[in-house]
Amino acid sequence: MNPAAFDYHRATSLEHAAELLGSLGDEAKVLAGGHSLLPFMKLRFATPSALVDIGGVAGHDYVRLDGDVIRIGALTTHRSLSESTMLAEHLPLLRSAASSIGDPQIRARGTLGGSVAHADPAGELPMLCRLLDATIVTTAGSHSAAEFFQGRYTTPLADDELLSEVVFPVAPQRGEYLKFSHRLYDWALVGVAAQRVGGDWRIGLVNVSDTPVRALAAEAALAGGASLHEAAALAAEGLRPAPSHRASADYKLHLTRVLTRRALEQASS
Amino acid sequence: MAHSEASVTDPATIKARFGIGQSVRRVEDARFVTGHGRYVGDIVIPFSAHAAVVRSPHAHARITGRSVEAARRSPGVLLVLTGDDVLAAGFKGFTASAMPEDLGAPKGHRTFRPILATDKVRFVGEGVALIVAETAAQAADAVALVEIDYDVLPSVTHLDDASAEGAVQVHDDCPSGNMAWVLRFGDQEATDAAFAAAPHTVSLRLENSRLSANPIEPRGSVGEYHQATGTYTLHTSSQNPHGARHEICGVLGIAETKLRVVSPDVGGGFGMKADAYPEDALVLWASRLIGRAVTWIATRSESMLTDTNGRDQVVRGELAFDDNGKILAIRAMAMQAVGGYIAPAGLVPSIFSLRFIPSVYDVKAALVMTRGIFTNTSPLGPYRGAGRPEANYLTERLLDAAAIELGLDRAEIRRRNFIAKDDFPYKTQTMFTYDSGDFRGVLDRALEIADWNGFESRRADSASRGLLRGQGLSYFIEQGGVFNDRMELRFDPGGTVSIVAGTFSHGQGHETTFAQMVAEWLGMPFEDIRFIQGDTDAVPFGRGTYAARSSMIGGSALKVAADAIIERARPMAAALMEVAVEDVNFTEGSFQVSGDPEKSMSMSAVARAFYYPRGITDKFGVGLMGAGTWSTERENFPNGCHICELEVDPETGEVVIDRYVMVDDIGVTINPMIAEGQLHGGFAQGMGQALIEHQAYDRESGQLMSGSLGDYGMPRAVLIPTLTTAFQNTPCLTNPLGVKAVGEAATIGAPPAIMSAVLDALRPLGVTHLDMPATPDRVWEAIRTAAASTEGVTS
Amino acid sequence: MKLPLTTTVNGTTRSHEVEPRQLLVQYLRDQLGLTGTHVGCDTSQCGACTVLVDGDAVKSCTMLSLQAEGRSVETIEGVAQGDQLDPVQRAFIEEHGLQCGYCTPGFIMATKYLLSRNPNPTEDEIREGIDGNLCRCTGYVNIVKAVQRAAAELASGGTR
């Protein structure tokens, strides 16, 4: 319940935060909404020596259309995403997936940047970055989503590098995100998103691997003319999900296939 | 008072508005909705220090060394205690309040749990050291600095492992491996004969998974030693302050007169907080050592590890029956996980898990046995239902199986076996005497409300949406209350009255319901009734609230006290009204004179006379008070019927309850709103057991895998279906109020009704068995296994 | 090493020196004596610690007190107007939407937030709106009814 002691610094800008992180060393961490970091710290799974609070940094809470991309500031909350009319028009899948994260109180504080940097394979936002080929813009440059999620909670972010923006190509076509099971758990036991981008289907998977993944075999099958049903049967190809006391590996694989079929069907209707 | 209206003083109006049977809004709510409830974590004793417990990371290990020097030097640390200090102090360990030998059963293996582990740790989370520091954060910082050397042993957290031949022993001195006790009821000869001759038998192996009470308020204690008087005060989140006092004094070697225990507002208990814990003793001891109060508030993670848990039982049951589905005999052999130590009330669930197996049915022969098995887990304790869910679940599943074998409607087989309305008092094979009940009436009402017979069209509708639909029913019976208790009524010079309660409300609304009783019985204005509980200095004696005991035991004791008040006041009333005693009666809320309707006096007015400084008090004495006691010698047996309809998604295994009906016989309904609230909450916990909750230990490592509320599976609002409830009461014949309990009923009735419906939904797919919790992965697994075996048969 | 913190709590400006690791719920309870906000877990699940920060319902156990710098915090103690209970509080009493009371302040704050954003929620929207709050006593049935009642009263002009 009580985190270990740390020094606290308030950043006035992301660049200032990067400087602070640089001088504080690798035991310092960024604090945005805190809803990934603080729970870890309260259980003392994380014991950073210093926190750099960027919560008060202005100018990074936005959802903007810029040609054929949507730029979203790193400090945009899940709640803002779930209510954004810009997203409703240009990237509705992100809006609906964000509305399923956690609960109302968590959505008020959790940020896009925080979730993406946390790289939890059970998180919706990392999956959507991967699904939509987002570009993750930081204070030191940018990363493609394909390279960004290297493992569970593992990204290429340097110790003094912060997310400033995530850029998503627009995807105005109907997509569907199915999270199983909202009634029972507040996280996704397995989650599947299906989205058409241009003429092609993309399928993103949550909580079946150490990173968010795409169901590439299923995507390829669809591109090759397979039916939704046939493609969904390939959705779990190559996956070796870790079993938990809530789900055997076989069940997760099965659920992946079922939810993929359903997401494809619903996104097609 | 929450009510800001003019006081109602006319007895008839008092009864109509505030009497028994009215849904009076709760007195206690005013403080809770404004944030002025006072829970143990809100208690601030000036200069209190704060404690943290160092806990074993291993499920089973010998302690071979300790080093606390680094911890002692940590900033703010005032004191570090370990098992060495416990031994040096000569404290006794916590032990069972009752062992089987106390009930005439074969001797069990009594354990003593030291307040900090001495030679061995027996479950993950067992306390090995106590750190006391200036702040809670500083105490937490020092936890990692305590070095304990462990010689790790194999652990047995699973019943099958703990009960296996040659299993590692949790208690080295236990003469029979890990067997803590054996209990049995019934007649072996008669049962064996009935089975041998029976045309039909069914048998089942059922699991009741381990559950954690998880009240939203974790445990906590504030201990103070008072140098000036050599006495102690403990504030603790307990359902039973007098019981806690008794247990703690036994452990610390203190006379009970020297310890005051106060339960402030308590944020839920469900049986888990019915007994004292090591931390209660630790804070008192530590306070004496450092000369300051010591506060310890559990984190949720600690609570998940160390609270007593419920259920964790496996039972093999058999039913013998005839061609008409009439039960000939029941046989059951069970094992229940006791944990690393026998908790004070650890025996209770095992006893009830057997005694209610015959349930509401006319069972002529039964043999039911259970073994308590030590496991490297948190200790077993009472958790809402405490064994009655296990018992009722077995019998209901057996009856369903019998009905299916005979092709009988599941409601019909119950009808054929119910104890008839005219057959009371009825003595069961497990030595209960049921006093009253109308099981058929309750069942029929439930069937009607639920439209039991209209199921098929709803099943077709679900099928059209790709879903399986199942319908299930359960009938249950249980016992309201254990032990005895004492209630007082005490008037004051102003003519208002205090209820001094031995019971302890922690959500049940006693401040309101007991006041309703006194308002009606004594014609007292509702606002003039004060409620005192939870303080061993203010309440001479009590046993707290658990086991759904308070309406009967507390209510009946209060009635005895009220009658004593009336009898004591009557001569005073006669004297004040200048009439003969024989001419005065207390009726309809006031003292009235026969033949003279103009003359009457309120109880309040008469009470005030008992406090005059002289005169009439010379004759009648000073003070108007009365006490009453009641016990469970003649029990009450609430009972009821649950009917569940649910849908199962065959592709994902997810179960969604669509309709749910509960009809309960609670004897007499004191406050319908509060009684219904108990059913809702009890249902949520029963549903939780059936569909999602599971306190799961890893079989290999002994680690707790469900160590957070999310991992455990706490029901949230999105999971609760629409509930329909009704009361169909047959007054209890063994207490003056006629009440039967309501507090635990729904938790007992829900698991079998839900599982009955799940299996009904899955039966067409060839699934014949499923254990709780029916989580989607387990449902899917059952479907897959059944499909594979069907294919094997047909291919 | 303590740092300065200035917030407005229930309408009053408060200034204190706080340890960085102090959580907002600890600040409210331990330094301001506002013990109506409760702690029920350590994994941000139970919601008993819910308060309003700049009008948003947040879990005060998952915020450092320093993160509330310059912000306005409303706790359960600020809900009633003197002796006048808020319609949400009255609704919880009327509908028996509480038993032990421990989770109740969190539910009341979550309800106030929900109704401020969605004054006429459906039953499903109510269940979603309180999805961040756990209750072990009531089974949620009467909590949902309390929210419905509060919504109706506020819609018909109930105070606050």
HSE at residue B25, side-chain half, CA atoms within 13 A, is: 15
The DSSP result for chain A, as a single string, is: -PPPP-EEEE-SSHHHHHHHHHHH-TTEEEESS-TTHHHHHHTTS---SEEEE-TT-TT---EEEETTEEEEETT-BHHHHHH-HHHHHH-HHHHHHHTTSS-HHHHHH-BHHHHHHHT-TT-HHHHHHHHTT-EEEETTEEEEHHHH--BTTB----TT--EEEEEEE---S-EEEEEETTTT-SS-SEEEEEEEETTEEEEEEESSSSS-EE-HHHHHHHHTT--HHHHHTTTTTT--PPPBTTB-HHHHHHHHHHHHHHHHHHHH-
Residue of C nearest to B723 (CA): C141
Can you tell me whether residue B548 is helix, strand or coil? coil
Burial of B742 per CB tally in 10 Å (0-12, 13-18, 19+): buried
Is A205 within 8 Å of A192 (Cβ atoms)? yes
Spatial separation of the C-alpha atoms in residues A154 and B452, rounded to whole Å: 55
Q: What is the DSSP letter of B357?
A: T
Taking all residues of chain B, what is their mean pLDDT, rounded to a whole number? Answer: 96
Residue tagged 């999620």 (tokens): A149
Is B362 within 8 Å of B423 (Cβ atoms)? yes
Note whether A187 contacts B: Cβ–Cβ < 8 A: yes
> What subunits make at least 3 CB pairs under 8 angstroms with A?
B, C
Burial of B639 per CB tally in 10 Å (0-12, 13-18, 19+): buried
Average the pLDDT over A167-179 and give the result: 96
Q: Where in chain A is the domain with CATH 3.30.390.50?
A: 175-268
pTM over 0.90: yes
Residue C64: list chain A partners with CB under 8 A.
8, 31, 34, 38, 51, 53
Q: Taking 60 as the threshold, does the pLDDT of residue B85 lie above it?
A: yes
Say how many CB pairs under 8 Å bridge B and C: 179
Average the pLDDT over C140-149 and give the result: 98
State pLDDT tens for residues A72-89: 999 999 999 999 999 999
Q: Taking 50 as the threshold, does the pLDDT of residue B3 lie above it?
A: no
Residue of B nearest to A255 (CA): B652
C117: CB partners within 8 A, 6+ apart: none
Average the pLDDT over B330-337 and give the result: 98
- pLDDT given at position B792: 59
Burial of B457 per CB tally in 10 Å (0-12, 13-18, 19+): exposed
At position C13, the amino acid (one-letter code) is: T
State pLDDT tens for residues A129-148: 999 999 999 999 999 999 99
Note whether B718 contacts A: Cβ–Cβ < 8 A: yes
Dihedral angle over CA of C58, C64, C70, C74, nearest 10:
40
Note whether A6 contacts C: Cβ–Cβ < 8 A: yes
Residue tagged 């974590």 (tokens): B41
Domain C3-78 and domain C87-155 have a common topology: no
Asked whether the beta carbons of residue C45 and residue B709 sit closer than 8 angstroms, the reply is yes
Spatial separation of the C-alpha atoms in residues B651 and B375, rounded to whole Å: 37
Q: Taking 50 as the threshold, does the pLDDT of residue B100 lie above it?
A: yes
Is C23 within 8 Å of C5 (Cβ atoms)? no
Q: Taking 70 as the threshold, does the pLDDT of residue A183 lie above it?
A: yes
Whether omega before B344 lies within 30 degrees of 0, making that bond cis, reads no
Whether omega before B571 lies within 30 degrees of 0, making that bond cis, reads no
Angstrom CA distances, C150 to A103, B143, C36, C80, C123, stand at: 21, 46, 21, 14, 13
Instruction: Output the six-digit token pair for A157.
Output: 């972010």
Average the pLDDT over B491-501 and give the result: 97
Q: Taking 80 as the threshold, does the pLDDT of residue C158 lie above it?
A: no
Asked whether the beta carbons of residue A43 and residue C19 sit closer than 8 angstroms, the reply is no
Is B588 within 8 Å of B602 (Cβ atoms)? no
- Measure CA B790 to chain center: 43
Residue tagged 């009940």 (tokens): B437
Average the pLDDT over B752-771 and give the result: 98
Q: Minimal CA–CA distance to A110: which of A139, A138, A75, A147?
A: A75
Three-state DSSP string of B671-725: CHHHHHHHHHHHHHHHHHHHHCCCCCECCCCCCECCCCHHHHCCCCHHHCCCEEE
CA quadruple B151, B308, A188, C61: dihedral positive or negative?
negative
- pLDDT given at position B4: 44
CATH tag for A7-53 (out of 3.30.43.10, 3.10.20.30, 3.50.50.100, 3.10.150.10)? 3.30.43.10
Spatial separation of the C-alpha atoms in residues B580 and B610, rounded to whole Å: 18
The DSSP result for B406-454, as a single string, is: HT--HHHHHHHHBPPGGG-SEE-TTS-EE----HHHHHHHHHHHHTGGG
CATH H-level, domain C3-78: superfamily: Beta-grasp domain (3.10.20.30)
State pLDDT tens for residues B380-400: 999 999 999 999 999 999 999
Q: What is the DSSP letter of B559?
A: H
Spatial separation of the C-alpha atoms in residues A120 and A101, rounded to whole Å: 13
CATH code for the structural domain at C87-155: 1.10.150.120
Asked whether the beta carbons of residue B777 and residue A182 sit closer than 8 angstroms, the reply is no
Complex prediction ipTM: 0.98
Q: Which element (helix H / strand E) includes B88?
A: helix B83-89
At position B172, the amino acid (one-letter code) is: D
Q: Which residues of C touch A (CB under 8 A)?
A: 1, 3, 19-21, 23, 39, 42-45, 47, 50, 56-59, 61-64, 66-67, 69-70, 110, 113-114, 128-129, 131-132
Average the pLDDT over B734-754 and give the result: 97
Q: Where in chain A is the domain with CATH 3.30.465.10?
A: 63-169
Strands B484-491 and B468-477: unpaired
Q: Taking 80 as the threshold, does the pLDDT of residue C150 lie above it?
A: yes
Q: Taking 60 as the threshold, does the pLDDT of residue B795 lie above it?
A: no
Residue among A105, A106, A120, A187 with most chain C CBs within 10 A, to mutate? A105
Which domains can be identified in chain B, with CATH numbers? Answer: 11-37+486-631 (3.30.365.10), 42-154+222-291 (3.90.1170.50), 435-480+635-794 (3.30.365.10)
Q: In whole angstroms, how large is the CA radius of gyration of chain B?
A: 28
**Residue boundaries of the structural domains of chain C:** 3-78, 87-155
CA angle, A125 then A130 then A134, to 5°: 85
Residue tagged 């004969």 (tokens): B193
Q: Taking 80 as the threshold, does the pLDDT of residue A26 lie above it?
A: yes
Listing from the earlier edge strand, what are the strands of the sheet with A7-10?
A7-10, A50-53, A28-31
- Measure CA A227 to chain center: 28
Residue of C nearest to A103 (CA): C132
Spatial separation of the C-alpha atoms in residues B645 and B426, rounded to whole Å: 32
Asked whether the beta carbons of residue A248 and residue B781 sit closer than 8 angstroms, the reply is yes
- pLDDT given at position C8: 98
Asked whether the beta carbons of residue C101 and residue B28 sit closer than 8 angstroms, the reply is yes
Q: Which element (helix H / strand E) includes B303?
A: helix B300-306
- Report whether CATH 3.30.390.50 matches the domain A175-268: yes
CATH code for the structural domain at A63-169: 3.30.465.10
Spatial separation of the C-alpha atoms in residues A248 and A255, rounded to whole Å: 11
pLDDT band at B790; cut points 50, 70, 90: confident
